[in-house]
Structure 1
Amino acid sequence: MARLTALAGGLAVALVLLAAPAMAHNHPSGITDLVTPAVVRVEATAHVDITLLDHIGELVHVERSYDVPIGSGTGIVINPEGGIVTLTRVVKTDRDVAVYAANRVFAEHHKVKIPADFARHKLKDDVLNHHLQECYPPKTPTATCIINVTTNITVFPNVSPADPKGLKADLVKAGDTLDSPAVLTLSGRVLGSLGMPTAPLADKVPDAAGSPTNVAGFLGRPAPNLPFTVDIAHLRQGGGGDSQGRQFADPEKKVDEPVKLGKLIDEGFLGAPVIGDKDGHVVGMLFGGGQDGRMIGVREITAALAKAGVAPRRGAIDSAFEAALTRYHTKYYTEAASGFQRVLELYPGNVVAAGLLKISLQKRGTAEDAGTKGAVSPTPRSLPLWPFIVAAAVLLVAALVGAFLLWRRRAPEERVEEPPAPVATASPQQPFDEGANPTVVVRRSQPFQVVPRQQPLMTANEQPSVKYCTECGMRLGPAHRFCGYCGHPIET
């Protein structure tokens, strides 16, 4: 009976667990919403102040200032204080901006044809060419140019309305190569009293070939007509080392993903996050361009952050946003709407939260809203719970009835078999009384109970002869050879 009851209970629990997905509110996988609020546009320029000392004729100081673009791309905010990781190539260049400034100032002042590029040129006029070569760095005692270069980094957050001025940032730590991570921190104001939204970093990169990912970035400065862009990509098996990075390939071979990603990188996805499909965390960062786009793994990102002394951390805005996002993806639109409103109070201008709030308000109270009591029907993926509960109850009742019937069948076998009492021949003087000492069947599980017995009939001249069992102490009848209680033979 115990086994059947346990089996019935286990089956009932299993049925309830099968119905659990209908009630579960787990956060869905394969989404980019956790990361996109923390995606920013990064632009870097070199501000060059140059003074040309023209002493061919009278000594003349020619002062000019130039803003030379270094790079642009996408960055990822990794803590509320404004810690940002991007690609070193976005904020640092291997070209000498001082050479560019020398070409510009010399061409403008001396009215000669010199390309406005980063190459060192020569002039046919020996005197002008000598002065031009002395203008190029490095600085010497006879230099004809005094050059000062400062790097300006501007971050444009993903907010609405767009911030036209952006936020100033400082380069904390550049990578050893141009295709390695660089760490920035905001040097000025931070939007919101609680900081900025951040992107969660994954523990590792998926190993399997064809692992689905998403990439997100900006193709220019954020604007109403230029929002962030999201695309899909698939990882190849393994990687080629830190210098080569992880490659991409479409397992169905419908799209040449390295070429597609290379084009996106050239348009602004340099340093863009690669988002894992499992939990929506950042697994890497894009680099390359042209005909080949690749990925730096998350371990290289965390190593660069550790060297720079900048710790990735999530904030209060992220907690509120993730809670609202969970309600949204599980179709609890009424609760999601209030959650997104709270996020916008903490961080005004959150583009992603504002967009999801608009959808939640449209679906709030409708049949699609799982939190509405008057919902017409459950969602296609949700199964009603009551059939499972009824089935479990029926199964449990059937198991209990079967166990009871089985117990009834086995009950006679469990009774104690007593040896039959011998039939004694009554003496002529004393007639045999069948009710003088009846056999008593007592279960071992029942408490001890003394059953009263009738006294034998005797004549006036006879004296009662009382005997007791020497084994258990029960009173014996005169005709019994065995004890009716324990079966012990009567000693003669």
Structure 2
Amino acid sequence: MRRQAVVAAGVAALVVTAVGPALAHEHPSGLTDLVSPAVVRVEAVAHVDITLLDHVGELLHVERSYDIPIGTGTGVVVTPEGAVVTLNRVVVSQKDVAILAANRIFAEHHKVKIPADYEKHKVKDPILNHHLKECYPPKTPLATCIIDVKPVITVYPNIATPDLKGFQAEVTEPGNGPDSPAVLQLTGRTEGGAGLPTAPLADKVPDKEGSPINLAGFLAKPSADKPIKVEIGHLAKGGVSGEGGRPFADPEKKVDEPSKLGALADQGMLGAPIIGDKDGHVIGMLVGGGKDAKMIGVREITSALAKAKVVPRRGTIDAAFEAALTRFHTNNFTDAVPYFQRVIDLYPGHTVAAAHLKTSLAKRGGAEDTGVRKAAPPAKSGLPLWPFIALAAVVLVAALIGTFLLWRGRKRAEPPPQQPPVTPLPPPLVTSATPTPPPMMDDGANPTVVVRRSQAFQAVGQLVAQEQQPSTAIKYCTACGMRLGVAHKFCGYCGHPIET
């Protein structure tokens, strides 16, 4: 038996060795797929409710509401619960919107020319000018305006069917300056129990000059004709946390990358995540604009998250999505299909999973599908696999037959079970005298015949002598086969009654 176990182990090792390399694969790198599902469009306005107390004539309360744009840009989700990182200038107004509201309501009510801007102005009428001055912040006991400002931040996710309502969010940690990271938290509706897709954050920024990068963001509110925008670039030499961030530069000097990426920042990609080419993780955010786009590093992002007491983490959707990407980017389309379907079940609007699922279904079972080649043995590549499988089957059958024959031989060699000894009966009593036949007995009407005791013993002896004649047949128990004595009524071995 020990020998058969060794043979079976060798067969198993042979099979694993033959099949193992076909299942090995590496995780793809240098792609934006991991980050782009978590990229969002961020739009912020200041909702201002203002009441002008008109004391010039009769006392009037003039009420107005204005939605003053603060900023638009791009952000990225870093927790399934909806923690979003974007730039401070996108969600926090760098100017006092109360001044703009005061200029607008005063010009509308009193019919005077006051620019609708963020500057404090004067008018020629001294009374109106006094009232205008008291309308501007800060609020005083003599204020002629009551102003309430509430920021309204809307986050639009990257989903297959555009979300026209978006998610409401609030600022939990504003940055120290306009180009510092700001942390938001979604406060409105949520999509399912699995949360939102998230983006992985890198450990550090590549130090090498000319390192390739990718960035993804939105130039407008997501729609069918305005999908996510993906662009490439390269890091120039310079510090990440220095003043203004790290610049961009094309190593071949064919493209003016600071101007190209700066234009994208002005169009709505301000705060877009910068994605490293090594493993597809976020290494920074796009800042600046015009002809001078730069990048702030991932350490500034993690510092802002730490101040907001937010721990970036991945969720269930991300785990399923990475498993699907592993198969997709190794051309294993057969196995990728159910994984992408699982992602869509968890998050129906997952744009990248939906696009890759469509591709996987189209290529499943085709010439490029490594899943099909894995299942079938290669036609002309090295030694074929079937001889090893046949040999393993023959060895296994031979081992089973040998084990069976060995078992049968041991079974036959075993001695039969010991039977208990049979105790012989005492020999019958035989008289030395010649037996004399007893007189005939008649049950008829003859007179009663008296038989003497000596005659009875003689008759019994005669019957015993007849049974001991050599011609008498030997009897055996019909139940167990043991030899029986002459006068046995029951078997001495098993106790079965003797049949007559």
| TM-score, normalised by the number of residues in structure 1 | 0.72
Cα distance in 2 for residues equivalent to 1:28 and 1:21: 18
Matched residue, 1:157: 157
| Cα shift readout 1:343-394 (whole Å, capped 9, x = no counterpart) | 000011111111111111111111111111499999xxxx9863799xxxxx
2:357 corresponds in structure 1 to 357
Match of 2:470 in 1: none
Tell me the equivalent position of 2:297. Answer: 297
> Which protein, 1 or 2, shows the higher relative CO under an 8 Å CA cutoff with sep ≥ 6?
1
Q: Which amino acid aligns with 1:353?
A: A
Matching residue of 1:258: 258
Inter-CA distance 285–371: structure 2 relative to 1 (3 Å threshold): same
Deviation at 1:332, TM superposition (A): 0.6
What RMSD over aligned residues (CA atoms) do the two structures have, in Å? 2.3
| Inter-CA distance 290–21: structure 2 relative to 1 (3 Å threshold) | farther
- Supply the AA of the counterpart residue of 1:319: A
Please name the residue that 2:382 is paired with.
386
* 2:97–2:118 contact (8 Å) kept in structure 1: yes
- 1:188 and 1:352 mapped to 2: Cα distance? 24
Q: Which amino acid is the alignment partner of residue 329 of structure 1?
A: H
Instruction: Give me the whole-angstrom Cα distance separating, in 1, the residues matched to 2:342 and 2:118.
Output: 50
Q: Which residue of 2 aligns with 1:337?
A: 337
- Residue 400 of structure 2 corresponds to none
The residue number in structure 2 matching 1:70 is 70
Distance 1:62 1:202, change over 3 A: same
> Within 5 Å, which residues of 2 pair with 1:439-454?
none
For 1:91, the equivalent position in structure 2 comes to: 91
Aligned partner of 1:12 in structure 2 is none
**Structure 1 residue 178, shift from structure 2 partner:** 1.2
CA 1:248–1:377 in 2, change beyond 3 Å: closer, same or farther?
Answer: farther
Structure 2 CA distance for aligned equivalents of residues 74 and 241 of structure 1: 21
**AA in 2 matched with 1:65:** S
Q: Distance in 1 between matches of 2:129 and 2:176?
A: 36
Secondary structure of the residue aligned to 2:323 is helix
Closer, same or farther: CA 377–97 of 1 in aligned 2, 3 Å: farther
Amino acid at match of 2:216: A
CA distance in 1, matches of 2:324, 2:330: 10
Checking the alignment, whether the CA contact within 8 Å between 1:248 and 1:293 is kept in structure 2 is: yes
| 2:205 corresponds to | 205
Change (3 A) 1:302 1:111: same
Q: Which amino acid aligns with 2:236?
A: R
- For residue 386 of structure 1, what is the amino acid of its counterpart? G
CA contact (8 A) 1:82 1:195 kept: yes
Aligned 8 A contact 1:212 1:235 in 2: yes
Contact kept, 8 Å, 1:214 with 1:231, in 2: the verdict is yes
Alignment-mate amino acid for residue 221 of structure 2 = R
Match of 1:418 in 2: none
Report deviation, 1:47. 0.6
Structure 1 residue identity aligned to 2:369 = D
Matched residue of 2:78: which SS?
Answer: strand
Matches of 2:377 and 2:104, distance apart in 1: 71
- 1:326 partner SS: helix
CA distance in 2 between counterparts of 1:55 and 1:27 reads: 72
Amino acid at match of 1:361: L
Do residues 184 (structure 1) and 180 (structure 2) align? Answer: no
Aligned to 1:111: 111
1-side partners of 2:87 and 2:230: how far apart? 19
In structure 1, the residue matched to 2:328 is 328
Residues 22 and 384 in structure 1, CA contact (< 8 A), matched pair in contact too: no
Note closer, same or farther for the CA distance 1:21–1:144 as it changes in structure 2 (3 Å cut).
farther
Task: Using the TM superposition, give the Cα deviation of residue 160 of structure 1 relative to its aligned residue in structure 2, in angstroms.
Answer: 1.9
Paired residue type of 1:364: R
Contact 2:23 2:374 (C-alpha < 8 Å) held by counterparts:
no
Supply the AA of the counterpart residue of 2:41.
Answer: R
* Partners of 2:241 and 2:297 within 8 A in 1: no
Counterpart in 1 of 2:281?
281
* Unaligned ranges ≥5, structure 1: 1-16, 390-492
**Correspondence for 1:233:** 233
Q: Secondary structure at the match of 1:130?
A: helix
Q: Could you tell me how far apart the structure 2 residues matched to 1:227 and 1:377 are? A: 42
Which residue does the alignment assign to 1:429?
none
Contact 1:367 1:374 in 2 (8 A): no
Larger radius of gyration: 2
Q: What are the residue-to-residue correspondences of 1:163-178 with 2, within 5 Å?
A: 163-178=163-178
Decide whether the 8 Å contact of 1:46 with 1:150 is kept in 2. yes
Q: What one-letter code is carried by the residue in structure 1 that aligns with 2:76? A: I
Distance in 1 (CA, whole Å) between partners of 2:260 and 2:380 is 44
Q: Which residue of 2 aligns with 1:425?
A: none
Shift of 1:22: 7.7
**Cα distance in structure 1, aligned partners of 2:331 and 2:27:** 11
| Contact preservation (8 Å) 1:22, 1:385 | no
Distance 2:87 2:380 in 1: 50
- Does the C-alpha gap of structure 1 residues 184 and 142 become closer, same or farther in structure 2, counting only changes over 3 Å? same
After superposition, the Cα gap between the structure-2 partners of 1:141 and 1:278, relative to the gap in structure 1 and judged at 3 Å, is same
Is the contact between residue 240 and residue 295 of structure 2 (CA under 8 Å) also seen in structure 1?
A: no
TM superposition shift of 1:24: 3.9
> For the residues of structure 1 that align with 2:178 and 2:39, how far apart are their CA atoms?
20
Amino acid paired to 2:31: I
Normalising by structure 2, what TM-score? 0.71
Query: Shift of the alpha carbon at 1:192?
Result: 2.2
What secondary structure is seen at the aligned counterpart in 1 of 2:189? coil
Contact 2:78 2:199 in 1 (8 A): yes
Q: Which runs of 5+ in 2 are unaligned?
A: 1-16, 386-500
1:143 aligns with 2:143: yes
8 Å CA contact 1:192, 1:348 repeated in 2: no
CA distance in 1, matches of 2:193, 2:184: 20
**C-alpha separation in 2, matches of 1:40 and 1:269:** 10
Cα offset for 1:238?
3.3
Conservation of the 8 A alpha-carbon contact between 2:171 and 2:184:
yes
Contact 1:155 1:167 (8 Å CA) reproduced? yes
Q: 1:240 to 1:159 in 2, by over 3 A?
A: closer
- Conserved in 1, the CA contact under 8 Å of 2:47 and 2:65? yes
**CA deviation string 1:222-261 (max 9, x = no partner):** 1111110000010012316343211110001111000011
